[in-house]
Amino acid sequence: MNRITALLEEKFGYRTFRKGQEEIIRAILNKEDVLGIMPTGGGKSICYQLPALVLEGLTLVVSPLISLMKDQVDSLNEMGIPATYINSTLQFPEIQQRLGMAARGEVKLLYVAPERLETADFLELLRHVSIDLIAVDEAHCISQWGHDFRPSYLKLAETIRSFAERPVIVALTATATPEVAEDICQLLSIAPENQVKTGFARENLAFQVVKEQKDVYLLEYLKMNQGQSGIIYASTRKEAERIHHLLKHHQISAGIYHGGLREQERSKNQEDFLFDRIQVMVATNAFGMGINKSNVRFVIHAQIPGNLESYYQEAGRAGRDGLPSEAVLLYAPNDLQIQQFFIEQSESTIEYQQNEYLKLREMNQYAHTQMCLQSYILRYFGEQGSDCGKCSNCLDDRESVDVTLETQKVLSCVKRMGERFGKSLVGKVLTGSKDQKITQWRFDQLSTYGLMKDWTQKEVTQLIDYLTAEHYLLPSEGQYPLLSLSSEGVEVLLGKRKVFRKQATVKQLVVDDDLFEELRALRLELAQEQQLPPYVIFSDKTLRELAEKQPQTSLEFLQIKGVGQNKLEKYGERFLALLQKR
Ligand code: ADP
């Protein structure tokens, strides 16, 4: 076995490299700069953590994600790898102490935010330490064409250029269109041919677009997937609060995270989520950057985000451990207006805004496409993909129901009511309600009154939502949009176009067996003892393999993915005791 594979096994407990890892590691050890583009959960960290062990000097990890640092450093220390971080959460004496450790060579890795490279203290340190490798995490932040540009990253490029002896640079990102990748290479002076791209496909993620009633779907989904960890994203604080309230009302264990909360509250909620004390986190996009909780089983977007880059990145927080997980987008046409509003409000150039509108349109088309959802995303990032076989479009082989007739009833009712009313009143007319408003407006005189008497009001409004999502009906702006017919809708009315509909279903993700639950409980106990998030001890994937293989000896235990020497020593005994009992 060669040296780096041996290290992979000894320190990280993995037998084989994932796609791209070995190539990137070898490039680094050959002193070549490299840009690695790997999907979330693809295993980017090992690409610099492993070389850090081999290289003599320090590995500087630049990451914009302060919340990630502690977690990463805890994980490394757990594996017996000396590492530390410096960021604004620390007091001055602590920073000095850690800088000292780095200068004396007591740590192999030092994590810092890009801003740190602008401080005098730090630049002074750089003069005294030999830095062999700089890992630039979330490297897309350096590009203005990316969706998350950070000016401090440009400074970083400057600092790197000012080094007397240039360390090896490894830039890593999970989201880069070809233009962004080119930009990263240029700004960090990485030869464009030194790109390792493993493909964006997340094979363990099943994408779904759901256009039915959000709240009903959400509650049903959470009921079906009780005990699984997940994130629910909303576009606004207000909507996050609303959903959080809704879940609490239904006794679902949920926390909330958004920029409007006090720092203290945010970090408490985040910790509760990381430590599996709460099941679901309801959040705005302020949450998640740097959350590397590996056992997130689902990410649900309760509202459409502004672009596919953000969507893929946020959705990609599900299933980092490689186990089957879901990414669900709940689509409602009105949510697009929120994103439009954000763009209008942004104080940026017209050119930038137009680019944002374009991105939003692509995002919207994702919600409407009939093609494989994973392939659609890959195509957006300039990659070819074959059908994933598990997204809601690929699985949509249930017979589509021809709802042309029902659609015609709805559309003709909307038309006869003058295209001046919202879905609830249209629903009332169609179901023949005796509501006062109906008689007041004399809608009971319409030929469409009571035309769908055998449907419930709710069923009709769901159909209306669907027809709106499919662009047969156009909603006006505002909270209670008025409906009018689109040109496609008119075609349906004229009998020139048919309408098909498939219902969304909710299924259970994984059936946990008893042993897995016992292992999970033990992990939680250990995590509480050590004040660590459970997944830092072992990932769900490792637990699952333990439950399947049921190792009985230390040697067998070591064969499990995710178990290295250090973890064997720390936890082997307790886990083996549990496994041997069975
Ligand atoms: P990324 O930063 O690319 O999103 P991480 O570096 O956090 O991904 O890795 C995701 C998960 O995959 C982690 O739990 C990590 O331990 C695991 N992992 C990384 N490399 C391997 C490997 N070669 N074999 C098995 N699991 C791996």
Alpha-carbon span 170 to 168, nearest angstrom: 7
| % of the chain exceeding 70 in pLDDT | 96
Q: Is 292 in the pocket of ligand 1 (CB under 6 A)?
A: yes
CATH ID of 2-197, from 3.40.50.300, 3.30.720.110, 1.20.1600.10, 3.40.50.800: 3.40.50.300
Ligand 1 atom at shortest distance from the alpha carbon of 292:
7
Q: Is 561 in the pocket of ligand 1 (CB under 6 A)?
A: yes
What average pLDDT does range 211-235 have in this prediction? 91
Confidence check: pLDDT of 394 > 70:
yes
Confidence check: pLDDT of 145 > 80:
no
Query: 3-state DSSP call for residue 326?
Result: strand
Give residue 501's pLDDT: 85
Strand 500-501 and strand 401-402: the pairing is: antiparallel
Which protein residue has the closest C-alpha to ligand 1 atom 18?
43
Residue bearing the bigger pLDDT, 70 or 125: 70
Q: Which amino acid appears at position 346 of this protein?
A: S
Give residue 509's pLDDT: 60
Alpha-carbon span 400 to 499, nearest angstrom: 9
pTM over 0.85: no
For the domain bounded by 400-502, which CATH number is listed? Answer: 1.10.10.10
Confidence check: pLDDT of 65 > 90:
no
What average pLDDT does range 492-500 have in this prediction? 93
Which protein residue has the closest C-alpha to ligand 1 atom 12?
43
Q: Is 160 in the pocket of ligand 1 (CB under 6 A)?
A: no
Tell me, in angstroms, the distance from the centre of ligand 1 to residue 43's CA: 3
What average pLDDT does the structure give for the chain? Answer: 89
Tell me, in angstroms, the distance from the centre of ligand 1 to residue 294's CA: 9
Ligand 1 atom at shortest distance from the alpha carbon of 45:
6
Residue identified by tokens 């207006």 is: 337
Residue identified by tokens 């997980």 is: 325
Identify any residues that bridge with 168 across adjacent strands, giving them in sequence order. 133
Q: Is 67 in the pocket of ligand 1 (CB under 6 A)?
A: no
Residue bearing the bigger pLDDT, 131 or 468: 131
Confidence check: pLDDT of 477 > 70:
no
Tell me, in angstroms, the distance from the centre of ligand 1 to residue 46's CA: 7
Q: Is 321 in the pocket of ligand 1 (CB under 6 A)?
A: yes
Residue identified by tokens 């779907």 is: 217
Give residue 503's pLDDT: 61
Tell me, in angstroms, the distance from the centre of ligand 1 to residue 222's CA: 27
Q: Is 19 in the pocket of ligand 1 (CB under 6 A)?
A: no
Q: What is the pLDDT of residues 437-473, one digit of tens each?
A: 999 999 999 999 999 999 988 889 888 978 887 779 9
Output the CA angle 57-63-69, nearest 5 degrees: 85
CATH superfamily label, 514-581: HRDC domain (1.10.150.80)
Q: What is the pLDDT of residues 276-290, one digit of tens each?
A: 999 999 999 999 866
CATH 1.10.10.10 in the chain is located at 400-502
Per-residue exposure over 259-293, b if at least 16 CB sit within 10 Å of its own CB, e if not: eebeeeebeebbebbbbbebbbbbbbbebbbbbbb
Q: Is 46 in the pocket of ligand 1 (CB under 6 A)?
A: yes
CATH superfamily label, 205-380: P-loop containing nucleotide triphosphate hydrolases (3.40.50.300)
Q: Is 75 in the pocket of ligand 1 (CB under 6 A)?
A: no
Confidence check: pLDDT of 327 > 70:
yes
CATH 1.10.150.80 in the chain is located at 514-581
Confidence check: pLDDT of 506 > 70:
no
Contact 207, 374 (CB under 8 A): yes
Residue 338 CB-half CA count within 13 A: 18
Which protein residue has the closest C-alpha to ligand 1 atom 23?
17
Count of other CB atoms within 10 angstroms of residue 470: 18
Ligand 1 atom at shortest distance from the alpha carbon of 21:
23
| % of the chain exceeding 90 in pLDDT | 59
Which of 83-87, 294-298, 333-337 bottoms out in mean pLDDT, i.e. has the lowest?
333-337
Give residue 348's pLDDT: 79
Which of 54-63, 352-361, 506-515 bottoms out in mean pLDDT, i.e. has the lowest?
506-515
Give residue 512's pLDDT: 57
DSSP 215: H
CATH 3.40.50.300 in the chain is located at 2-197, 205-380
User: Which of 7, 9, 14 to probe ligand 1 with, by most ligand atoms within 8 A of CB?
Assistant: 14
Residue bearing the bigger pLDDT, 581 or 433: 433
Q: What is the pLDDT of residues 514-543, one digit of tens each?
A: 888 899 999 999 999 999 999 999 999 899
Give residue 154's pLDDT: 85
Confidence check: pLDDT of 398 > 70:
no
What average pLDDT does range 500-506 have in this prediction? 65
Tell me, in angstroms, the distance from the centre of ligand 1 to residue 532's CA: 18
Q: Is 43 in the pocket of ligand 1 (CB under 6 A)?
A: yes
Confidence check: pLDDT of 545 > 80:
yes
Give residue 128's pLDDT: 82
Alpha-carbon span 465 to 367, nearest angstrom: 14
Give residue 89's pLDDT: 87
Which protein residue has the closest C-alpha to ligand 1 atom 15?
43
What average pLDDT does range 559-566 have in this prediction? 89
User: Which of 78, 274, 320 to probe ligand 1 with, by most ligand atoms within 8 A of CB?
Assistant: 320
Confidence check: pLDDT of 177 > 90:
no
- Residues in contact with 377: Cβ distance below 8 Å, sequence separation at least 6, in sequence order: 200, 207, 308, 311, 312, 366, 385
Which protein residue has the closest C-alpha to ligand 1 atom 5?
43
Q: Is 38 in the pocket of ligand 1 (CB under 6 A)?
A: yes
Ligand 1 atom at shortest distance from the alpha carbon of 39:
3
Q: Is 539 in the pocket of ligand 1 (CB under 6 A)?
A: yes
Indicate the pLDDT class of residue 127, thresholds 50, 70 and 90: confident
Tell me, in angstroms, the distance from the centre of ligand 1 to residue 319's CA: 11
Q: Which amino acid appears at position 406 of this protein?
A: E
Confidence check: pLDDT of 34 > 60:
yes
What average pLDDT does range 48-64 have in this prediction? 95
Q: What is the pLDDT of residues 362-377, one digit of tens each?
A: 898 789 777 799 998 9
Q: Is 433 in the pocket of ligand 1 (CB under 6 A)?
A: no
Tell me, in angstroms, the distance from the centre of ligand 1 to residue 414's CA: 53
Ligand 1 atom at shortest distance from the alpha carbon of 561:
25
Which protein residue has the closest C-alpha to ligand 1 atom 17?
43
Alpha-carbon span 291 to 124, nearest angstrom: 31
Q: Is 282 in the pocket of ligand 1 (CB under 6 A)?
A: no
Tell me, in angstroms, the distance from the centre of ligand 1 to residue 251's CA: 34
String of DSSP letters for 164-207: SSPPEEEEEES---HHHHHHHHHHTT--TT-EEE--S--TTEEE
Indicate the pLDDT class of residue 1, thresholds 50, 70 and 90: low
Structure tokens at 543: 């637990």
